[in-house]
Amino acid sequence: MKSKFNTVAICASSKGKKINQIANQCCEVLLNQNIKVYLNEGLSEVATVNKAKVVNDSTLKKSDLIIVIGGDGSILGFARQYGYLGIPLLGINLGNLGFLADIAPDNITTSLTDIMSGKFIRDKRFFLEASINSSKKTDIALNEIVIHSGAVAQLIEYELFVDEKFVYRQRADGLIVNSPTGSTAYSLSGGGPIIHPEVKAITVLPMFPHSLSTSPFLVKDQSLIQIKMIGKKNKATLSLDSHHSISLKKGDMISIKKTSSNLTLIHPKGHNFFSACRNKLGWSSNLI
C-alpha cells in the first residue's frame, strides 16, 4: 500500500543514545516503505548507519510530515518552527506528561506502519499571537502567552479588555492567556480549567490576583484580548510558551488573538483525549 506521506523528516531538539536508537528505528520502518527520510542536524550520527539524509531548515520545510522525538517541549518548538507553516507533526514521547507527543517508544514500529498506511487521526490546534502597541511584528505561542512580574510575590497592575470592552483593572502576579492546548500546561498548574482540544475558546487566568472575587474565564476563540500596563512601578515581562521573553513598560498595550494558521497533530487510531488525562494526570488512580 502506498504511504500517505512521501517525505518524512525526523527531528529532535536534544542528543543522546536513546534518541539515536529511536531515530534509527523510525528510519528503518520508513525506508522499508520506500519513503524519503530527512533528519535535522541534531541527528547527524543517525545518518551514518542508514540512507536517511541530514538536511537544512529550508529542506525540512518541504517535508510532508515531521516526526518529533522528545517531550511536549520539543513538540512546542517544532510546532512554532514548522507546524505553523502547515506541516503535520507526529510525536514520539520521551517526556513525562506527553499530551502532544503520544507514541510510546515501545509502539514505534506498529504505530508508524499503521500511520503510513493511512490509519491515523488529524488533530487541529490553533496558535495565539501577541503584538505590542499595534506593531505589525507578532510572536506566536501554541500553549500560552503570559504577562508576569518576574519575581515572587511582586504585583503588576493592568487593565483587561475583550473585544475592546473593558473587563477590569487588576493587580496580580501576572495573567495567563492560553489556548485549549495550553490548558494542560502552565494554566493547569495555576488552577485553570482543562479544556478539550475541540472547544473553540481562549482562557484568561489571573495569577494570584489581589482580589477575592476574580476567577478564570473563557472567551470565544475569535476574541481580541488586550492588556494595558498601567502600574507606576511595573516591571513586567511578556512570555510566549516560556521560549521568548519581551520586557514591558507602563503604557504598553498587548494585543492577543488567534492566528489564521493551525497546527495539525497526527495521532494513532484510538487516540483519546480523556484517556490521556487518565494516564497522565492520574484520573481514577485511587479507584480499585
User: Which of the residues are catalytic?
Assistant: 72
Cβ atoms of 247 and 97 within 8 Å: the answer is no
CA distance linking residue 143 with residue 76, whole number of Å: 8
Helix (H, G, I), strand (E, B) or coil at 155: coil
What residues contact residue 278 under an 8 Å CB cut-off, 6+ apart? Answer: 284
Q: C-alpha grid cell for residue 243?
A: 521560549
Q: Which of 178, 81, 83, 74 is nearest to 122 (CA)?
A: 83
Quick one: cell of 157? 497592575
Helices (H), 175-269: 186-189
CA distances from residue 134 to 2, 64, 226, 254 in whole angstroms, order as listed: 48, 35, 11, 8
- Close Cβ partners of 92 (under 8 Å, ≥ 6 residues apart): 22, 26, 67, 68, 69, 70, 101, 103, 104, 105, 108
Q: The cell 484580548 sits on which residue?
A: 225
- Name the grid cell of 34: 520506500
